[in-house]
Structure 1
């Protein structure tokens, strides 16, 4: 359990239970998923969380973080599940409200979940 699940595109999720014939995987797009991540270009930190709709958001991104639309998000290696530098997604949208402590960042996952197979 708690082993990373990856494919050639990037991080898929983590194993949450196993049986003799199958394993259950918590996808990174699941609302209960959180993976520590980095902006590859600037090394800004945040937490990739699932939205439950096939997308993710990059949470806890401080206002001073150098992040741009199109930036690549990779795993930080913290948490001991995912290795450092695993591709998670691309920054799709950034909202920087003056009334909020953190930036709101939407991420398009690296993996096309509609094409996953066993």
Structure 2
């Protein structure tokens, strides 16, 4: 038997953020039935128009493997948010988790450990 945990995750997308606005990409990872959540947050400043890419890396000491001998779902919650900030009320800002070609490229790297 083996158990798994997430080691890293790579996200990419496109954003158009007016000067004064900001964007946030956030992800949280936890196993079903486990209250401990590992999360990562990335911020983008306004005046940005282009592709973005982030990588979440879980430190070895922070990894929480699924319990041995139990099947648990790994829940991954992702969030994108835009704040208007000091940008013009008529300005349009957005962030999306795909690129201008419409492809979604999210890559997850997992670690396995043998249960005894």
Normalising by structure 1, what TM-score?
A: 0.26
User: RCO greater where, 1 or 2, for CA within 8 Å and sep 6 or more?
Assistant: 2
Decide which structure has greater strand share: 2
Determine which structure has more spread, i.e. the larger CA radius of gyration.
2
